[in-house]
Amino acid sequence: MQIQGGQRRRSAPDPTFSVLRGDQRGPLGKLVDAFVVVVAQVAVAAMCGIYAVLKKLPTRNKIVLMSRLYDQTSQDFAGVRDEIHRQSPRTHVVVLNHRNTRPWAVPGQMLVEMYQLATSRACVTDSYMAAISALEHKDELIIVQMWHALGAIKRFGLAAVGTAEGRPGGLARVMRMHHGYDWVIAGGKRMVEPFAESFGVAPDHVLPIGTPRVDLLRDPDYLAGKRKRIDAAHPQLRDRRVVLYAPTFRTGDPVRVEPLLDALIEAELDVVVALHPLDHRDFSRLPGVTQDPTFTTLDWLTIASDLVTDYSAVAFDAAVLGVPIYAYAYDLDEYRERRGIPFDYEHDMPGVVHRDEKSVVRALLEHAVTDADVERFRENFVSEPDGGSTRRIAALALGASPAELG
């Protein structure tokens, strides 16, 4: 794979690609936002003062992997960590899993993050981290944004600022949201422009090389191990046609789950429900429905016969595995207006986009989505998997240029 990319430089949000538009909020919302901005300004000033002292510490042969999404090391981070050790055994790797579930712990987490950033040669992150974006770092620090999804079906980051579900524009500016990345990783070429807009970088700093999960999803041993674990925990799914339902999270308006589940149950299809971690509803009491949050959505994909989703990036993972993807978007017009979709959803999703549950169940029973539909979607959005995504990301963190990735 020949990788094209620009020269490494610390990149501020580019006004050509970032969208800091006027907020879609009422007077009360804007008043609350103004108060939050003042608090954020004080916090950033304090962080800058502390960080100025920490930056006087020497840089070590160390790379820090930082996430606020998980409280345990993700499979993507584990792969990068191990590959860095393979390529550079003398380089120390620190993994920070700072999931923000305890507000009182955030100041301590921030202090640890700032220390690690001040003393590391590189940082890889899979999420938005205030300590990365709000501060000015040493020139030699390399920052790689390895987002936790291969692509995006909904607008996010800077592309969603000021929308009903995005960050307020004033807060995004004060926190310098998504500032400072040297490289951003995307799943494929179709995601270069949307990721450039979402992360505020020029397109030549978005590298469509895939993430470690692409390597995992093409690893027969990994897939067999996941299937064995699920088989032991849920033998009722063995040798069955399993429909995985994995909808995206909606702010303030829970996804409408019950009508689809009722239709799937009536059709006597076995269903696994994988909701967003912030959605704690439990549907496992329903006949024929399995819901077990000890397994990730990625885990469930390894046994899924079909995927039903709306705007979740799990569709890109399913495409890598070749799992048929059924688009069920009952609120498409409203969601497109409220959140935004960075491509032609009706044209680019595999098969037909379904607006009601009876339509999607009928399509499932008819096996309407073909292998060709899934492969066309994968070719459009995910680079051809060649087993080298993890190797390339580790090399970037170690200082390689895109031209040297191979």
The reported pLDDT for the residue numbered 36 is: 84
Is pLDDT at 16 greater than 50 in this prediction?
no
The reported pLDDT for the residue numbered 164 is: 77
Write the CA distances from 286 to 50, 243, 271, integer angstroms: 53, 15, 10
Please tell me whether the overall predicted TM-score, pTM, comes out greater than 0.85 for this model.
Answer: yes
Range 106-132 average pLDDT: 97
The reported pLDDT for the residue numbered 355 is: 97
- 20-48, pLDDT tens digit by residue? 444 555 666 667 778 888 988 999 999 99
Range 269-293 average pLDDT: 95
What b/e string do you get for 248-257 counting C-beta neighbours within 10 Å, with b at 16 or more? bbbeeeebeb
- 323-342, pLDDT tens digit by residue? 999 999 999 999 999 889 99
Is pLDDT at 15 greater than 50 in this prediction?
no
Range 380-391 average pLDDT: 94
- 195-249, pLDDT tens digit by residue? 999 999 999 999 999 999 999 999 999 999 999 999 999 999 999 999 999 999 9
Is pLDDT at 14 greater than 70 in this prediction?
no
Phi, psi of 55 (to 5 degrees): -70, -15
Write the CA distances from 284 to 244, 291, 322, integer angstroms: 13, 5, 27
- CA distance linking residue 358 with residue 336, whole number of Å: 22
Mean pLDDT of the chain: 92
Is pLDDT at 17 greater than 80 in this prediction?
no
Percent of the chain exceeding pLDDT 90 equals 83
Range 118-147 average pLDDT: 97
Token code pair at residue 341? 């979709």
Is pLDDT at 303 greater than 70 in this prediction?
yes
The reported pLDDT for the residue numbered 252 is: 79
The reported pLDDT for the residue numbered 4 is: 60
Is pLDDT at 2 greater than 80 in this prediction?
no
Range 121-131 average pLDDT: 97
The residue among 348 and 18 whose pLDDT is bigger is 348
Radius of gyration of the chain (CA): 21
The reported pLDDT for the residue numbered 322 is: 97
Is pLDDT at 13 greater than 80 in this prediction?
no
Is pLDDT at 385 greater than 60 in this prediction?
yes
Q: Which residues, 6+ apart, have CB-to-CB distance to 374 below 8 Å?
A: 318, 319, 322, 323, 324, 325, 350
CB distance 51 to 135 below 8 Å = yes
Range 344-367 average pLDDT: 97
The reported pLDDT for the residue numbered 29 is: 61
Confidence of residue 166 (pLDDT cuts 50, 70, 90): confident
The reported pLDDT for the residue numbered 292 is: 97
The domains located in the chain, with CATH, are 27-213+385-404 (3.40.50.11820), 219-381 (3.40.50.12580)
